[in-house]
Structures are given as structure tokens and as C-alpha cells.
Amino acid sequence: MSSFTAADDAATFATEVLESDVPVVVDFWAVWCGPCRMVTPELEKLAAAHGTAVKVVKVDVDANPEVAGRYRIQGIPTIALFRDGQPVAVSVGAKPYAAIEAELGLTAA
């Protein structure tokens, strides 16, 4: 998880996601969630493919329930693409990198 930024409080989420000048892939997850752990390597592939054009931020829904509630996260893993501080696409469930990339509307750089 070292290649990702953690946004486990509202202030960090605002800085890293809402104020970002590049698109942000947000992984809503929890430590106890097996499928969430399965999707981490897929997000590492996505981050590697897009380099600095996209940022990946992980939000632990247990540590940051305020943000999870604000975006009505009901199941995890939920992976959302934010542009200009707004969620524009969502992928729910553990999926391979290519499926996540397609659902979020991203194309490799």
C-alpha cells in the first residue's frame, strides 16, 4: 500500500481528493474486507499504468465514516473516480485492473 495516499480523516480527504488538480481514484475499503485486499494489487497496476496523470487514495471506511457516509458508500470495495472534487464514475466490488479502468472511464497513458 506504500504507493497510495491514505485519507483517513476529512481534512486529508479534502486536501488529497477534493482539491487535487489531477483525477483521483478513491478506494473505499476496510482492513477486515477480504475483497478489498484482493483489489489492492489491481489498483497498484492502475497507478503504475497512469503514473502522475492519476492519483490513488485509499479511504478506510471504519477510520473515516464521515466521508464514506457523504458519498453513500454501501458496499466495499467501492472505487470512485473524482475529477475537480466531484465523483464522476464508480466501480463496486473486487475486479481485475482492466475492468476497474474501463468502469472508471480511464485509458492508459
- Structural domains in the chain, CATH included, are 5-85 (3.40.30.10)
The yes-or-no verdict on residue 82 having pLDDT over 80 is yes
How would you class 89 by CB atoms within 10 Å of its CB: exposed for 0-12, middle for 13-18, buried for 19 or more?
A: middle
The question of whether 58 is a catalytic residue gets the answer: no
Active-site annotation holds for 33: yes
Catalytic residue among 7, 17, 36, 81: 36
Q: For residue 32, what is its C-alpha cell?
A: 477486515
- 104/109 Cα distance (integer angstroms): 14
Q: How confident is the model at residue 2, as a pLDDT?
A: 45
Q: Cα separation of 67 and 45, whole Å?
A: 25
Q: In whole angstroms, what is the distance from residue 32 CA to residue 49 CA?
A: 28
pLDDT tens digits, residue range 34-79? 999 999 999 999 999 998 899 999 999 999 999 999 999 999 999 9
Instruction: Say which of 26, 33, 57, 106 is annotated catalytic.
Output: 33
In whole angstroms, give the CA distance from residue 12 to residue 10: 6
